Amino acid sequence: LLFERATRIVDQRGVKRISGKPSGRFIFQVVGESRRKEEYFCFAECYCACYSFFYDIVNRGEQLCCKHQLAARLAASLGACIEVKVSDEKLALFLATQIVWHIYSI
């Protein structure tokens, strides 16, 4: 089920890879499947801002990753990411605003 949901996200072109220049650092922004089409930022290996990541993975330890992380990994492997290039400063600002928003929404 997790794999099916992740592949659906990739098929719908729901994975953006936002890369900073010149460092090459990047983060993924992955569209959710709900009607609201929320976007979650994630590091494919270790973090996602979605509720499932904290509930199923961090708190309960029931899964290794969420569908957004898996979609990010699949899209990166298949070359199916929408590539977005920004300056390192814009990437840092994006991350800072996402972290602040996430802290206050908990």
Residues in the chain: 106
Residue-wise pLDDT for 37-48, tens only, equals 799 999 989 999
Q: Using CA atoms, how far apart are residues 60 and 30, in angstroms rounded to an integer? A: 23
Give, for 6, the enclosing helix (H) or strand (E): helix 2-11
Q: Residue 23 is part of which domain span?
A: 2-105
Number of H helices and E strands in the chain, helices first, is 4, 5
Residue 104 has pLDDT above 60, yes or no: no
Average pLDDT, the chain: 90
More confident residue, 52 or 82: 82
Order across the sheet with 26-31: list the strands. Answer: 47-48, 39-43, 26-31, 15-21, 82-87
Residue-wise pLDDT for 12-37, tens only, equals 999 999 999 999 999 999 998 877 77
Count of structural domains within the chain: 1
Confidence of residue 103 (pLDDT cuts 50, 70, 90): low
Q: What is the pLDDT of residue 33?
A: 80
